[in-house]
Amino acid sequence: MVTEDMVRAALQNVIDPEIGMDIVNLGLIYRVDVMEEGKKVDIDMTLTTPACPAGPQILNQARSEVLALGDVYKNLEDVNINLVWTPFWNPSMMTEDAREELGFF
């Protein structure tokens, strides 16, 4: 069965092309909910800014990466990505490693 950890690992393959870092370490993933014994995954995520030109690309890639888990876990049927703006993203939401790599202390 698909787990939250598996979903987050898959999402680490999604790189924000403007920043060059994955969306998990950037702190853009707010919630991952695996429901119905792994049949459905619901994700709340945000972008670094509402005007992010790569937004559609990031959202599509996020959905694709999680859906790819269905190649192994055949019961995965649907992935829903909810784009949310609350709370508004800020650099303090990044992992410590991401802040160090990008020069935020």
In the chain, what are the domain boundaries? 4-89
pLDDT digits (tens, 9 = 90+) for 88-99: 999 999 999 999
- For the whole model, what pTM was predicted? 0.93
Q: Is the pLDDT of residue 27 over 90?
A: yes
Q: Is the pLDDT of residue 46 over 80?
A: yes
Q: What is the mean pLDDT of residues 15-23?
A: 95
pLDDT-derived band at 105, boundaries 50, 70, 90: low
Nearest to 43 by CA among 70, 78, 88: 78
Q: What is the mean pLDDT of residues 45-57?
A: 95
Task: Tell the CATH topology of 4-89.
Answer: GMP Synthetase; Chain A, domain 3 (3.30.300)
pLDDT digits (tens, 9 = 90+) for 71-86: 999 999 999 999 999 9
pLDDT above 70 coverage of the chain, percent? 99
